[in-house]
Amino acid sequence: MKCLFINPPVYDFSAYDLWSKPLGFLKIIDLFKKNGFEIFYFDFLDRNHEFYKNIKVKKGKYGCGNYFYKEVEKPQIYKNVPRKYKRFGLPTNIFLDFLKNIGGLDFIFITTGMTYWVLGVREVINIIKQLYPKVPIIVGGIYTSFCYEDAQNLKANYIFKGKDILKFSYEFSSIFNIDIKMPERIEPFWNVYKKLDYLVIKTSSGCPFSCWYCGIKQIEGVYKKRDVEEVVEEIIKNVEKFKIEDIAFYDDALFFNFEEHLYRILEKITKNTKNLRFHTPNGIHPKFIKKEVSFILKETNFKTIRLSLETINDKRNKESDNKVNFNEFEMCVRNLVDAGFRKEEIGVYILAGLPNQKPEEVIKTINILKNYPLKIKIAEYSPIPGTVDFEIAKNLYPELPISDPLFQNNSIYPLWNFKNKWEIINQIKQMIKS
């Protein structure tokens, strides 16, 4: 049987390939590959597609870079946003040419990213419906997990919620009367790509913390570390196959129990491979970066350290499960600097646009952080359905359409609903740059 798997284009104000790959989707592909299905894959966000050889798109460091895009008309809900709206990803005609060489199909799978990227999903479904009107369409991912009811409006045959692959295989088997067996091991099937500029990896699932703004508990309810040998084997195998130098960790609590888990992984990897660079785009907990840990990170060639401070507000810190206090943050920065990390390698995320948060809180945090050798990164708040902060926001701002996936776009600071909003946002951006 033949299956087509699609990672859709992105409609947004901005998008950048910051070690971005559909990791969970690649595991679903592995499931079907191991069940004997013939696999076809199209990734609209594949920057190594031959299309990019003929256009000028800026490349960043460590395998990251810009996507090809075209400006498009803004949806009505964004009409007052003073920014250009774009479609990021390979042009539709490239996709249509790809489909011509496939022939008949038995199933079509589509993954979804951010909830407010739903327009790309709709675009793909509309194309597929015209060309394969009788082929079942299965949609899953972040959008369907957090906006399950809204996703019922998609013209799909099966909408899956969450990341439980065992549950997915059972439901799929029942709905389509096909016996999908669970193999002994599931891992991302990277072979759908001809070339990779980097590898992304998760050494664990879930998170031991319970932050009010975060939705990880809804899709990965239990925190669980993966087997060390399994992680090491996955990394080394793909590093050798694709000649990769950069590895980005996707874990939500990467340094939790560092000595028992990540340290053992790094130790084994560096014994078997050389010249690898490691990155932590998701943000790490400063209190776990002790002095000895910071030196290990330097020795194993971590190049991108992103710390999660979020705010200096004590009350709001409690809403982040007391992940870090400012003394721990200061100690962490000192440890990293002592280990030899430069300002350009240390970044700190601070949250902006939270429920009931005033811009003054963000500005105060920025002014304090300017005294430290690091790069300040704004993490704009996105209201995630089902989280504590989402329910608080619904009660605080009943006039705002935060249940609309498009309004959950962090680029528009959805909860900052005051007259000089964009003036203040630009002021904050300039503060960070200066």
Residue among 163, 167, 116 at smallest CA distance from 140:
163
Which pLDDT tens digit goes with each residue over 93-140?
999 999 998 989 999 999 999 999 999 999 999 999 999 999 999 999
Distance between start and end Cα atoms, the chain: 57
* Residue 299 binned pLDDT confidence (cut-offs 50, 70, 90): very high
**What's the whole-number mean pLDDT along residues 308-314?**
77
In this prediction, residue 312 carries a pLDDT of 75
Residue among 190, 224, 193 at smallest CA distance from 207:
224
**What's the whole-number mean pLDDT along residues 362-377?**
95
In this prediction, residue 274 carries a pLDDT of 85
* Residue 314 binned pLDDT confidence (cut-offs 50, 70, 90): low
* Residue 272 binned pLDDT confidence (cut-offs 50, 70, 90): confident
The residues facing 247 across adjacent strands are 199, 278
Which pLDDT tens digit goes with each residue over 66-89?
999 999 999 999 999 999 999 999
pLDDT at 217 over 60: yes
Of the ranges 50-54, 104-108, 206-210, 364-368, which one carries the lowest mean pLDDT score?
A: 206-210
pLDDT at 313 over 90: no
> Count of CB atoms within 10 A of residue 148's CB?
15
> Count of CB atoms within 10 A of residue 231's CB?
22
Topology adopted by domain 198-433: TIM Barrel (3.20.20)
Token code pair at residue 307: 């710390």
* Residue 159 binned pLDDT confidence (cut-offs 50, 70, 90): very high
Residue among 92, 76, 160, 148 at smallest CA distance from 124:
92
Whole-number Å distance between alpha carbons of 136 and 158? 8
pLDDT at 336 over 60: yes
Give the domain ranges of the chain: 2-176, 198-433
In this prediction, residue 2 carries a pLDDT of 97
Which pLDDT tens digit goes with each residue over 394-430?
999 999 999 999 999 999 999 998 889 999 999 999 9
**What's the whole-number mean pLDDT along residues 350-361?**
93
Do 180 and 169 meet the contact criterion of CB atoms below 8 Å apart?
Answer: yes
Token code pair at residue 280: 């932590």
Token code pair at residue 335: 């440890």
pLDDT at 261 over 60: yes
Q: Say what the pTM is.
A: 0.95
Whole-number Å distance between alpha carbons of 419 and 162? 38
Pick the CATH number of 2-176 from 3.40.50.1220, 3.40.50.280, 3.90.1150.10, 1.10.443.10: 3.40.50.280
pLDDT at 198 over 60: yes
Which pLDDT tens digit goes with each residue over 18-34?
999 999 999 999 999 99
pLDDT at 317 over 70: no
In this prediction, residue 329 carries a pLDDT of 93
Chain-wide mean pLDDT for the chain? 94
In this prediction, residue 196 carries a pLDDT of 97
Token code pair at residue 45: 């966000």
Asked whether the domain spanning 198-433 has the same topology as the one spanning 2-176, the reply is no
Whole-number Å distance between alpha carbons of 70 and 80? 20
pLDDT at 321 over 70: no
Per cent of the chain over pLDDT 70 is: 97
Residue among 83, 4, 62 at smallest CA distance from 37:
4
